[in-house]
Structure 1
């Protein structure tokens, strides 16, 4: 099997001392997929990169050396690139470039914004985190890294800070293929009017150019396959106010007032943007959840004959009856695949009374437990405060037509 080079997404590479790198806080999402590939007998080289830099620079500065390392150690002449989110733009930047060396057999992209993402509008034009109905892990990382950059540089957190130190975010803005995504209400007609991208000040010229030359991938004989996510409300259109005074370029294309969201996305990237013109599969999963949900499908794409166990690092279940999360969620509804910092949970069928063992790996966490009756219409929420580490017994009693009863010991 050809060796694999793995490219993480934005915020997924953290530089350490003496030239070393790590996934940083994202390790809880990336470690299972890396381990699954390695346990399948694949050689995996992680191409950490400076996600704050332009994607073309990242391809030359970080991706090429990673390819060289794994080819040298495996005595092969080609690699397979597996990439998540922005990592797919870095991979495309390389294989579509004039310095491509013919050393990539295929690319597998996981929720890459090939047509951009409306979420990028908020930090690029206003220095703000995009609004989300979820407790978004990517937004949490954004806040943390921006705070660090602000402290290191001594500059306030504004859109100018983003443009000076993270120019790559502009390369995530919606492309022409995405279509017009800003609209406003004019006069008294109370009718939305979309703003053509051609009239906007800030456009994604880089990705537009990359997409205009996408046919070069096929001419170079590189196979591309995409994993798309759906089932999570994703910002698709943004209502803006273009009459607001623009101070020094702030919200130069309009100040956001509201959003229109679609469930045909992973919470960050629309499935249509990820799919673009490539062969793909769409899973019911989130932007970070694809890193676990996609494992068996990814291994099949990599021609692995024997699939290893999917790794659930933090909380192993004996039975699948509920969801555990570590903070209040705004999505109190039936979720078939819920991901968070604690691990992976699936919906399962309850009998009249079911019992499972729940292992809590670390103490002192506030958690919520959600359970549902057989048709998902009656929900019971149980808040667990300052949970002790160890193995706990959970009994769920299902009474037909009523909310389930939870006993946590």
Structure 2
């Protein structure tokens, strides 16, 4: 494809052209020229959009798509289209499918389904067989097949020795272990954050201790073993503090926070809306503010949508019985601009590439063309027609959005929303 992008404000905090308005000439997968008033050329398509901004392509470190096994929730083909129209040029695919992605053939299957797509799909392999927490999965084989990290989605590794062995084992190939942190015994039958709201609603609570105890344990194991650990979707002030101290002590630990934990609190649960049932649960305002501070001071390395499509049969039911999860790709950018400046958002949507070993292409002549297009100033409301996923379980339905994604350019392909 041959393309000229007109009058794009480049948002690239550490790049050569940050906050500069430029034209970009793209041939295939390569940036040929960046400059002012580039001449039109025969056979070149041109893009000129209102208040067009351009950044490095965004990366989401936690996306679930269902396929194989749960195609009624989402397929890989449609899920990647959703990602593209939401501004993401690369996603890390969680292994919570059926069967679980816990071997070489499953990694190859999802990669083949995503081949020749505008969005890069990077599989996360399950750390344990079937994500059951009993035995390590085929980590080396999955690494060789293309897995970029290993973790059991939404499941705590109860066996501390198994996590220890996993962290030691992957060091042979510089692997990354993901450790979702929530003590199941302390969580018990809890479904929401333990506090004033849970008491008022009569719902069983999940104390912050359930997360913090496991974060502390996992960091102690990391200190013993060495290696690299990623703690996803933290939700409490104490978790931020524990990880901050661990980093100060030289541990190789990174963490993420989900968009919904930065924007929403348990006060939204007043109508028992199961779209808001997520894991970890929405916390109170004190914890929400601490998470934002963790983003701003650099303790939290990346922001994820934690996109998890759930079919209506498993969402539209009693709160206690409904499955956890919200879709989040479509609303991520528009929601975040309510609380964070564009530069910070772009950094947190691209920094994760370094942690997961995904190439973060520079915006410069001769580099690979890997862009996200957006307008940071449009105000709108997120409605059902804005949900592009097969499942419609969005926690942000009816919420105010700021900023609109126009699309992406990656792998020589243009996708516009």
TM-score, scaled to structure 2:
0.35
Q: Which has the larger radius of gyration?
A: 1
Higher relative contact order, chain-length normalized (CA < 8 Å, sep 6+): 2
